[in-house]
Amino acid sequence: MSDIRVPDLFGCLVFNDREMRERLPEDAYSALKNTMQLGKKLAPDLADIVAAAMKDWAIENGCTHYSHWFQPMTGVTAEKHDSFIEPDGNDSVIMEFSGKALVKGEPDASSFPSGGLRATFEARGYTAWDPTSYAFIKNETLCIPTAFYSYGGEALDQKTPLLRSMEAINRQALRVLRLFGDEDTRFVHTNVGPEQEYFLIDKELYNRREDLILTGRTLFGAKPPRGQEMDDHYFGSIRPRVIAFMKELDEELWKHGIYAKTRHNEAAPAQHEMAPVFTTTNLATDGNQLTMELMKKVAEKHNLACLLHEKPFAGVNGSGKHNNWSLSTDKGTNLLNPGSSPRENAQFLLFLTAVIKAVDEHQDLLRISVASAGNDHRLGAAEAPPAVVSIFLGNELTEILESLESDTPYESKEAIQMKVGVHILPRFPKDNSDRNRTSPLAFTGNKFEFRMLGSAASISTSNTMLNTSVADVLMQFADELEAADDLNTALHALIKREFHAHKRIIFNGNGYDDAWMKEAAARGLLNLASTPDALPYLTHPGNLDLFARHKVFTSAELFSRCEIMQENYCKVLNIEARTMLDMAQKQIFPAVSAYVKSLSETALAARQLTPTACTAETTLVTKLSALADSMYGHIEELKTVLHESETVDGAEAKSKFFCNTVIPVMRALRTDADELEASTAKSYWPYPTYSDMLFYV
């Protein structure tokens, strides 16, 4: 039996509402709450009071340092620690933390990706406290979640645009609620529950694979005799070493105020999942970043390596992140809950229609939000949703919307008659969506599950895109309905029209099916197969306007993001290709050569006794030599194309060069190496095999 008491443990490393209420004077507490919920500015003297309370709490909990914790465009978080000490003038120190130090930091920004926003000589960057996310303790350091931006105020991070998009959707959703006579709701926010997949392998084995260490995925590896075909890992009983890891991970997450809820084995061997209870998007995003960091740290303690890459192993499922997204009011009402009364239904149908239209109109943005070199291995590979964005609504809701579209009565399964007209709507049966695990964006009862995200990425971009797209449509709807003479008539007409215009985005069938790709093309849906195909859409004029309209990204920020993502794609592939060259030349080739030598020596010796001996060895030597020759050819070819890549100008052209020219050579090189592995004695093989890694934890 565990001796921990979870409620005592939960949030013990977080300066949360409980601590604030306890440690702050009444007026400071309510001012801070106003800042957190309504975005009101916090007076400087109050910042001093909050900082002092935070410092006392942190020191009581063993901290000596504080750090602005931020999320630059590297995919991981960044921190620079400063101690609390101040010389007191008497050769001693006092522990200080001012409101100024809490609110603003000035890290050197020159070494973070900026996509041309900030030349290296203008190194100034700022971090600004995000009071909507709680400060927490990590490594005896008080971590303050912050936004990170340039001297000119341009966002250099993941958090700033997310916060802006949350404001945008709040503004527009409130307008819609007011139309329905809701005067009480003070704000609307989006919620997210991100399910996180990961692999665990033995650390010793990990340490012997240069590809895992340098790139996070295996660049070589023959298919093991057994993969995931037995379907016995998903939800299977969890092995002791893994359970020990999960137990400690849960405790760490709870201490950091993360609502770790579900843990289970995933489809592939050595693959697992953790899902927290959903929370406000900003907190969920910070929490997910912290979760990924803690997963790696806790794994180390168990002599395991946690792989967050989207495709660590070829031939078995890769890892994703399911972003469960919903909209709710400060009173806790979920606006995507179908409800049972007509008023809620009409409002629900309007929000639902808004999401349908937003997703159809902004397929490109959702696709871009999940684009990365790693995730390109999953999307469309019959294990994750295709690269084509579509919505699963389930039959029930689809039929309801179709009946509205065609002005025919809807008959629910429970035979509740519905008169058409949004003011007299059906009672929705409880479970109005079936499960569909192949859809990119599935409506699952009262939320949308966006399933295309890669396991390693921040969830920030996807939510920024979702929030902004939906905000824009809500804005159009509010404009139209506010001007209408009769709300019900206008509402009915609007839903009918918009559903008709955008129903092509709804697909309730099997998304992994080839037939769907053909149909999607016939419907005119975008199919942006690779990251380099998708990224240029980010700066299309319509998108520049969209983000400017809602003050989420300036044009300069969008161009910079596009360039950062393209450059990042090229860097990842460049590192992968060079790692392949290294392993092929320094490990694989010598191993094969040694084995061939041994086989040849055996054959030669045996033939002195019997002239016909060792035909198998001879055949194998011939085969291995031919494969090694072919591999050598691909090594040379890869060097040539990598060299050529250096001469390609511009991030977009370069990303396409890597995608279209370098990747095929990497594939060919891998094919040769993996065939060599399959025919070479294990004792000669220089690194652990797939079987070693996938089945021995």
Q: Which residue has the tokens 């964005």?
A: 389
Q: What angle do CA 488, 492, 497 make, to 5 degrees?
A: 150
- Minimal distance, residue 268 CB to ligand ADP, in Å: 17
- What is the Cα 253 distance to its own chain's centre? 18
Q: Which is nearer to ligand ADP, 328 or 689 (CB)?
A: 328
Site string for Mg ion, 150-179 (x = CB under 5 A): ------------------------------
Residue 396 contact partner, candidates ligand ADP, Mg ion, none, CB within 5 to 8 A by sort of partner: none
Tokens of 20: 């604030």
Tokens of 156: 């250099």
Backbone angles phi, psi at 452, to 5 degrees: -85, -10
Burial of 488-504, coded b for 16+ CB within 10 Å and e otherwise, reads: eebbbebbbebbeebbb
Q: Helix, strand, or coil here: 481? A: helix
DSSP letter, residue 587: I
Q: Are 580 and 669 in contact (CB under 8 A)?
A: yes
- Minimal distance, residue 259 CB to ligand ADP, in Å: 8
Size of the site for Mg ion (CB under 5 A): 1
- Minimal distance, residue 509 CB to ligand ADP, in Å: 19
Pick from 191, 330, 166, 306: nearest CA to 259? 191
Q: Which residue has the tokens 């180390």?
A: 300
- Minimal distance, residue 374 CB to Mg ion, in Å: 20
- Minimal distance, residue 446 CB to ligand ADP, in Å: 5
Tokens of 626: 């031919």
Binding site for ligand ADP (CB under 6 A): 191-193, 195, 262, 275-278, 324-326, 334, 446-447
Q: Which is nearer to ligand ADP, 208 or 264 (CB)?
A: 264
Residues 318 to 337 in contact with Mg ion, rule: CB under 5 A: 322
- Find the residue with minimal CB distance to ligand ADP: 193
Q: Which is nearer to Mg ion, 68 or 322 (CB)?
A: 322
Q: Which is nearer to ligand ADP, 223 or 264 (CB)?
A: 264
Give me the sign of the Cα torsion angle 482, 484, 486, 491. Answer: negative
H or E segment and range at residue 325: strand 320-329
Query: Cα(first)–Cα(last) distance of the chain, in Å?
Result: 24
Q: Which is nearer to ligand ADP, 16 or 334 (CB)?
A: 334
Residue 334 contact partner, candidates Mg ion, ligand ADP, none, CB within 5 to 8 A by sort of partner: ligand ADP
Residue 277 contact partner, candidates Mg ion, ligand ADP, none, CB within 5 to 8 A by sort of partner: ligand ADP
The CA distance from 487 to 173, in Å, is 16
Selected range binding Mg ion among 315-323, 538-546, 562-570, 608-616, rule: CB under 5 A: 315-323
The CA distance from 300 to 317, in Å, is 23
Q: Which is nearer to Mg ion, 439 or 468 (CB)?
A: 439
Q: Which is nearer to Mg ion, 79 or 197 (CB)?
A: 197
CB atoms within 10 A of CB 170: 22
User: Can residue 209 be called a binding residue for Mg ion (CB under 5 A)?
Assistant: no
- Minimal distance, residue 449 CB to Mg ion, in Å: 5
Residue 446 contact partner, candidates Mg ion, ligand ADP, none, CB within 5 to 8 A by sort of partner: ligand ADP
Residue 339 contact partner, candidates ligand ADP, Mg ion, none, CB within 5 to 8 A by sort of partner: none
Residue 61 contact partner, candidates ligand ADP, Mg ion, none, CB within 5 to 8 A by sort of partner: none
Backbone angles phi, psi at 538, to 5 degrees: -55, -35
Q: Which is nearer to ligand ADP, 145 or 193 (CB)?
A: 193
Residue 6 contact partner, candidates Mg ion, ligand ADP, none, CB within 5 to 8 A by sort of partner: none
Q: Which is nearer to ligand ADP, 326 or 530 (CB)?
A: 326
Q: What angle do CA 177, 178, 183 make, to 5 degrees?
A: 105
The footprint of Mg ion (CB under 5 A) covers 322
